Structure 1
Amino acid sequence: MFEAGALGFLFLLVAVWTAFPMLWMIGASLKTNVAISNDPLSLWPARSTLEHYRYVWTQVPFARYIVNTFWVSLIVTAAKLGTSVLAAYAFSFYRFRGREVLFYALLLTAFVPFTATMIPNYLLVARLGLLSSVLGVALPQLADGLGIFLLRQAFRSVPLSFYEAARMERVGPLRILWHVLLPLVRPSLAALAILFFINTWNEYFWPFLILKEKSSYTLPIALQMFTNLEGGTNWGAMMAASTLTSLLPLLAYALAQRQIIETFLHSGVKG
């Protein structure tokens, strides 16, 4: 009993330590700069104000940057989810020569560092004339080795009898996928969609390389630009901009955290 209580207390400390910067960011965005200077460690202001949000919204075209980031994230998420579903379906239910070798080769791509592919991808996008475009940011991110692995594990947890029964009824492969298999792995699909969306939303370096015009910037680039303009002194405005940038990913993760955890826990059930 004592060990369980001590472990629970340790987890609580870790949770508080992890959540503190985020709570401080939200609280500081609602304080005046004077209140931040006078009481920097308090999490919530005595008197809340939205002046920093109004300032950010008028000084920077955040609406445009939100739309840019949303479209990039949506395209990348849809493409990764589609290619992951089709590849995982083939690796799970079809027998062909070199299947395991090809699967592990795709899985290894998840461990290749971005710096190794950055220059070839940039040259490809530049030669295709896609600099400063949504498609240029999305093009090198249309497939994901980790997504294929996780969905393959999800498909392998489905009883094979479901697939065989559909085949005996002469149902086509795409109809089996759509009507039989995908409804059974819906939590894994939702979790992967949220992870792909959040990762793309928060991406900074690759969009920074591709997007040359301010009108095409995504939120992480705009946030860095705004921080530089403020000179690192207007803490309230910077925290308001950071909160606006983080709000949608935080909400998405909060809504799908159970599915995300279950997907990673079940990924090792079948090899």
Structure 2
Amino acid sequence: MNAGLGKWLKTGIFYLVLIAGAVLFIFPFYWMAVASIKTPREVFDLNLIPSEITFQSYNYMLDRIPVARSLFNSFVFAGGVTLITLVVTSMAGYALARLKFWGRDVLFSVVLLTMMIPFQLLMIPLYVIVVKLGWMNSYAGLILPISVNALGIFIFRQFFRTIPQELIDAARIDGASELQILFRVMLPLSRPAMITVAILTFMGPWNDLLWPLLVTREQEMMPLAQAATLFGLEGQGGQWGSIMAVNTLLALPVVLLYLFFQRYFIESISNTGMKG
């Protein structure tokens, strides 16, 4: 009886801790979203449910920020980086997981070491390259210099090692090339890894401010994160409701992506963590 009670008590405490953690993570986003539909005089009130719902903050934002253009730029920026990263890192991950060549493990170690190099260290050389290539104020300048990351290579490499070698051998016997094996055998079986890399990669450029500030000068090329920051700096700092509206709009796509694909995300993290 005592053992059963202790088990239920431990389970209850465990779930209470999980619920408390979930509330702590969700509350800032909830408060931001609610503040965006409050009246200006209620923005900093502690009431969790607004006494009056208004969209004047969104109207004010739409009047002063080219939201449609900025959203388009953000999707092109984040989507372009994500697409290139998926293609390149999946190919690199396949080579490091399944192809045998001299120095493979050393090369993988070097790839992992690059994860320790902060972007700020590479920022100036990349900026100089963009200027010399004439890519300022262009999608090429935004996308190409930051399109590959070591984390994507690591995730694909670890996930590909969980796929049976027999499938690869059978494809080779049928005359498939390595690229055909990758795109017709490995990737269709690696949906969790693809979605995980896509989400983690998409979040970076979608929320990025520093790189767009360096390579874009014209408003028509600015992603939403950059436009929102300039909106807050150009005399609009007192419009906290509108700032919350911009940030809500900026956070919503990433939250929805994770909510829809969390099952694949968790599966991929589990597989890459358990397999070596």
Q: Structure 2 CA distance, aligned partners of 1:167 and 1:61?
A: 52
* CA displacement at 1:44 relative to structure 2: 2.4
Query: Aligned runs of 1:47-62 on 2, under 5 Å?
Result: 47-62=52-67
Say whether 1:210 aligns with 2:239: no
Conserved 8 A contact 1:25-1:239: yes
The residue number in structure 2 matching 1:180 is 185
The residue number in structure 2 matching 1:23 is 30
The residue number in structure 2 matching 1:86 is 91
Picking from 16, 23, 28, the partner of 1:9 is 16
* Amino acid in structure 1 at the alignment position of 2:150: G
Q: Structure 2 CA distance, aligned partners of 1:269 and 1:21?
A: 33
The residue number in structure 1 matching 2:156 is 151
* CA displacement at 1:172 relative to structure 2: 2.1
Conserved 8 A contact 1:132-1:210: yes
Picking from 65, 72, 82, the partner of 1:77 is 82
The residue number in structure 2 matching 1:63 is 68
The residue number in structure 1 matching 2:248 is 243
Aligned residue-pair number: 269
The residue number in structure 2 matching 1:201 is 206
Picking from 36, 43, 57, the partner of 1:36 is 43
TM-score, scaled relative to structure 2: 0.93
Q: Structure 2 CA distance, aligned partners of 1:207 and 1:265?
A: 34
Task: Compute the RMSD of aligned alpha carbons.
Answer: 1.4
Conserved 8 A contact 2:38-2:53: yes
Conserved 8 A contact 2:191-2:264: no
Picking from 126, 129, 135, the partner of 2:134 is 129
* CA displacement at 1:230 relative to structure 2: 4.5
Picking from 140, 143, 147, the partner of 2:145 is 140
The residue number in structure 1 matching 2:258 is 253
Conserved 8 A contact 1:24-1:42: no
The residue number in structure 2 matching 1:162 is 167
Which is worse superposed, 68-77 or 132-141?
A: 132-141
Conserved 8 A contact 1:153-1:269: no
Q: Structure 2 CA distance, aligned partners of 1:204 and 1:36?
A: 25
* Amino acid in structure 1 at the alignment position of 2:26: A
* CA displacement at 1:270 relative to structure 2: 2.3
The residue number in structure 2 matching 1:227 is 232
Which runs of at least 4 in structure 1 moved beyond 4 Å after TM superposition? none
The residue number in structure 1 matching 2:124 is 119
**Aligned residues with identical type, % of pairs:** 38
**1:267 partner SS:** helix
* CA displacement at 1:161 relative to structure 2: 0.6
Q: Structure 2 CA distance, aligned partners of 1:244 and 1:269?
A: 36
Q: Structure 2 CA distance, aligned partners of 1:132 and 1:227?
A: 22
* Amino acid in structure 2 at the alignment position of 1:186: R
Runs of at least 5 residues in structure 2 that lack an aligned partner in the other structure? 1-7
Conserved 8 A contact 1:28-1:44: no
Which is worse superposed, 4-13 or 61-70?
A: 4-13
Q: Structure 1 CA distance, aligned partners of 2:80 and 2:29?
A: 28
Runs of at least 5 residues in structure 1 that lack an aligned partner in the other structure? none
